[in-house]
Structure 1
Amino acid sequence: MPEPGPSPRQSSLPAAAVHFGTHGHGRGIEAFGGGRPALPSAPAPSARPLPSAPAPFSAPTLPPLPAPAEVAVPATVPVAVPEPTPALRRILRGPSGLGTAGLYPTRGEEASAPSESAPAGHPIPGLLYHPVPEPDPVRVEEVGRRIKAWAVDEVELFPADWEDQFDGFSLGRYMVACHPDAPTVDHVMIATRLMAAENALDDCYCEDHGGSPVGLGGRLLLAHTALDPLHTTPEYQPAWAESLHCDAPRRGYRSAMEYFVREASPSQADRYRHDMARLHLGYLAEAAWAQTDYVPEVWEYLAMRQFNNFRPCPTITDTVGGYELPADLHAQPALQRIIALAGNATTIVNDLYSYTKELAAPGLHLNLPVVIAERENLSARDAYLKAVEVHNDLMRSFEGAAADLAAQLPDPGLLRFLRGVAAWVDGNHYWHQTNTYRYSLPDFW
């Protein structure tokens, strides 16, 4: 008798997904404002221990960052703070009631109460955004201390004369604001190391801090092997392994990924690698345009920005939250659209807040206002204001798509993931608005 074959693979997709899409499409954001569905209980996630620190390696000598531009901003500017729709409020609030306490692991953690005072910095007038409370100062301070120790002592991510620039980035405040449901500081650190490594690579490989579009493809490919390991012969394996310590971006990628994969599932790690490949493809497109002095059409620029954007950050919100959204649910086209829209909207926020900083830097820096002005023959002011509207359209699409999916598939894990992505979008805006060390607004109002 032949040996029996393996059992059929069981899908981890919730049963509700079987009917997803069978009730018709086009259910707008108001469709999510009805009664709350009954939610099954969910156990609190258990955090796996994080690895011990790897040994540090020597850092290259790198030039200092340029000083940020100083642009006068009106003392008072009008702020577009929309009243959250019932759908958005529900996504942000998440499920409640009997059996849902496990979805809020930080509620039982002792920490200082966040301040409700208004943050520093001016929001962009007319921009669609949702304010957030000040992030927990205890966590902010601890994440800031740990990320600097990692960057300086473990991977030597930057030379000494970059220290003020690193401090001014305010990574602790950034990541705590973006991940309010992280159960521990260790979980916040997963995202913080990855963010620091990504920015180091962007600065050293792509920007004017030692980077260049010439030869970028080769540098990116080799750096990507710190995330997606090379599988080669014993003869060549040692040379590749040694190469992972040869410059700051690769040291940062290697170490941050080691911490990440020990907390993430294989599926979550592969998801992140995929999104980083998307990011690197976007870098290459922008570099190719820089080499040929090509200013893309607006739609071409937005296509590039769908790849060269923040997508790798919100897509790991479940890992940082200490749980896992099943792979087959994450791969649903509707959720992929939501994640893409979140990445696109948050990246245009970066274009808008960094506008004056990039104008002050040498060379032509492509951003949405610059491209709109060039391709649609608009003044700098009109192009900037139109870029604000592009962002707002993306935000409305993101919120509507999230509400529609949540209404059609009210799985508690999905609702938590959507809430995490929405929190990342809001935290990203908060950091850009309040980081007056890096950003200032143009005088267009």
Structure 2
Amino acid sequence: MPDPGPLGSSPPEQRPTPRTTVPDAPAPVIPHPPAPPIASGFLAALHPPVTIPGPPPPPTPATPVRHPPETTAADSALKEISHHGIARQGILRGPTGPGTTSLPLSARDRPPLPEPASATPAPPAAGRAVPGLYHHPVPEPDPARVEEVSRRIKRWAEDEVQLYPEEWEGQFDGFSVGRYMVACHPDAPTADHLMLAARLMVAENAVDDCYCEDHGGSPVGLGGRLLLAHTALDHVHTTAEYASAWKESLLSDAPRRAYRSAMDHFVRAATPSQADRYRHDMARLHLGYLAEAAWAQTGHVPQVWEYLAMRQFNNFRPCPTITDTVGGYELPADLQARPDMQRVIALAGNATTIVNDLYSYTKELDSPGLHLNLPVVIAEHEQLSERDAYLKAVEVHNDLQHAFEAAAADLATTCPLPPVLRFLRGVAAWVDGNHDWHRTNTYRYTLPDFW
């Protein structure tokens, strides 16, 4: 996984004494409010103007919408969503499939919104964006929701999976999980839905830190550790004689405890196809970990194209691809598997991963040994200074981000189904929220002095 770590884990022999476990209840079946109004034009819809969110207006009765002749199919579908809203599709056991997405909801079906923390909107968080980086601002995440998710994810980490020893508590707090999830999933109907993503994010980073990098990680023997951890996501089906030993192994260290618990919560809320999609994306992630580990063991500095190929696997992809589960609906498997949808998802993961390379560059330079990232690889193989290599990496990100937006707009035109359009909006929101978290997390990141 790209480095949003460390989260930390205690070695098995120093495992903290378990506290009273208070697991979060399964997410309740709560109708999802309609999506916010969407501007005409798909790129405008992907990135609406930033405003401070307020209570939703009363539902507008469905009325026919007349479009001028030049309006595209994507624009028409987006306007339909704007007028009718989007009902949940099958997450938390609702109906699924094309045709069920645009069912209108009455006002009495909507969950109440939390009371604002104060009458005065919170000012934008501090943090400087990488100069020249193409990105979109996001609304300041709802502080009440951020606080709720932060409280619940810390309770889960401490009490349910014993993720870290007491001395690493500050690092966990500095990760700002609550802000990250609320910024990336603005359409999540409840904190329960946000917790699905929060647990998985924290678990992924625990594996990265404890198996690969900061807290005892090593490329030596990584394949065996990752395979056994992956069985917490994709269960072993074996004989009764050996099944008990496997089950016990899932509690043997913090990464496996976190994977097991996070996935158990996720599968109770997701459809079978969504759970399998996540398993597949995590296998991709683990393959990327192994490629990077192999290069570290042999001292190989990959060519730029090789590095970018590795980053298409060792990247954030598992996070935005669950945006429909977190949003309380389903992108059907046949639509998710379309080659043009797969291109959109891949580009989104690639762009967000280069964002991580850029913001974590200074932090990684200060760590022991050679830490591969895009500026380092460009400097090595294109004979550029550190500054020029970094600026070239900014250009690579911008090209990927523009390609993502173009691919999403093309797909919205060729397949303007409501679940497709909503999923594309969700992935774009995740891309923007991921950048905002990196920009504002000054506890973790500082920019190089290249400007």
Equivalent position SS for 2:189: coil
2:210: which partner in 1?
A: 204
**Aligned with 2:87 (options 102, 107, 123):** 102
Equivalent position SS for 2:369: coil
2:313: which partner in 1?
A: 307
Letter of the structure 2 residue corresponding to residue 88 of structure 1? L
1:6-155 matches, within 5 Å, as: 61=14, 86-92=41-47, 95=79, 96-102=81-87, 109-112=112-115, 115=121, 117-155=123-161
User: How far is 1:208 from its partner?
Assistant: 2.9
**Aligned with 2:261 (options 255, 258, 266):** 255
1:30-429 matches, within 5 Å, as: 61=14, 86-92=41-47, 95=79, 96-102=81-87, 109-112=112-115, 115=121, 117-429=123-435
Normalised TM-score (structure 1): 0.80
Equivalent position SS for 1:235: helix
Letter of the structure 1 residue corresponding to residue 288 of structure 2? G
User: How far is 1:184 from its partner?
Assistant: 0.4
The answer (yes or no) to whether the contact 2:116–2:144 under 8 Å persists in 1 is: no
Deviations 1:246-295 (A, max 9, x none): 00000000000000000000000000000000000000000000001110
Deviations 1:3-49 (A, max 9, x none): xxxxxxxxxxxxxxxxxxxxxxxxxxxxxxxxxxxxxxxxxxxxxxx
Q: 1:438 and 1:97 mapped to 2: Cα distance?
A: 38
Q: 1:377 and 1:387 mapped to 2: Cα distance?
A: 14
Q: 1:411 and 1:59 mapped to 2: Cα distance?
A: 49
User: How far is 1:407 from its partner?
Assistant: 1.0
Identity of aligned pairs, percent? Answer: 73
Q: 1:431 and 1:60 mapped to 2: Cα distance?
A: 34
Q: 2:437 and 2:445 mapped to 1: Cα distance?
A: 10
The answer (yes or no) to whether the contact 1:59–1:156 under 8 Å persists in 2 is: no
The answer (yes or no) to whether the contact 1:58–1:156 under 8 Å persists in 2 is: no
User: How far is 1:60 from its partner?
Assistant: 5.2
User: How far is 1:152 from its partner?
Assistant: 0.2
User: How far is 1:116 from its partner?
Assistant: 6.5
Q: 1:406 to 1:107 in 2, by over 3 A?
A: farther
The answer (yes or no) to whether the contact 2:47–2:136 under 8 Å persists in 1 is: no
User: How far is 1:99 from its partner?
Assistant: 2.2
The answer (yes or no) to whether the contact 1:111–1:136 under 8 Å persists in 2 is: no
Q: 1:402 to 1:116 in 2, by over 3 A?
A: farther
Give unmatched runs, 5+ long, in structure 1: 1-56, 63-83
1:431: which partner in 2?
A: 437
Deviations 1:279-330 (A, max 9, x none): 0000000000000111000000000000000000000000000100100000
Q: 1:265 and 1:101 mapped to 2: Cα distance?
A: 18
Give unmatched runs, 5+ long, in structure 2: 1-9, 16-38, 49-77, 89-103
Normalised TM-score (structure 2): 0.79
User: How far is 1:355 from its partner?
Assistant: 0.2
Q: 1:160 to 1:90 in 2, by over 3 A?
A: same
Deviations 1:173-213 (A, max 9, x none): 00010000001000000000000000000000000310100
Letter of the structure 2 residue corresponding to residue 109 of structure 1? P
Q: 1:58 to 1:360 in 2, by over 3 A?
A: closer
User: How far is 1:113 from its partner?
Assistant: 5.3
**Runs ≥4 residues deviating over 4 A:** 57-60, 92-95, 103-108
User: How far is 1:118 from its partner?
Assistant: 2.9
User: How far is 1:85 from its partner?
Assistant: 10
2:33: which partner in 1?
A: none
Equivalent position SS for 1:98: helix
Number of residues of Structure 1 aligned to a counterpart in Structure 2: 369
Q: 1:85 and 1:426 mapped to 2: Cα distance?
A: 20
The answer (yes or no) to whether the contact 1:177–1:424 under 8 Å persists in 2 is: yes
